[in-house]
Structure 1
Amino acid sequence: MNEKIVLLIIEEEEFQYLELIINITNLINTEDISSLFSIQEETTVINSVRIQVQQAGVTSVLSSFFRPR
């Protein structure tokens, strides 16, 4: 079995930041932090990257970037 074990050590004072704990848990479980960017920020980043990719002449299909893990 190729199970990865993750150990998170935090100080007691950090428990007051519930959102931080939730984000860390989400990152560990899903490899994503859904609340990291607002929808507007995410759209801005995606559009910026899209323009840079087009200017660089990259023609790869986005879906080929993602592979099952």
Structure 2
Amino acid sequence: KSSMHEDETEPAEVQEVVDVVTTAKLITEVVTAASETVTAASAIITTAEAQVPAATTAVTLTDAPGRRRK
């Protein structure tokens, strides 16, 4: 009877393992997709930050001579 009991519990244990592995795969996919999104957003932010100092410098240079003339 104990061998029969083990046979009955094994499918449940196997199903639990399958569920855990399936969940782990889904989590991995979500984390990978989120990571790609963050990487793309970081690249956009870095590009935008690189352009801001150039624009600020241009504005500063344009305003500086005007202040000296007054």
Question: Is the TM-score greater than 0.5?
Answer: no
Q: Of the two, which has the highest radius of gyration?
A: 2
Higher helix share: 2
Higher relative contact order (CA 8 A, sep 6+): 1
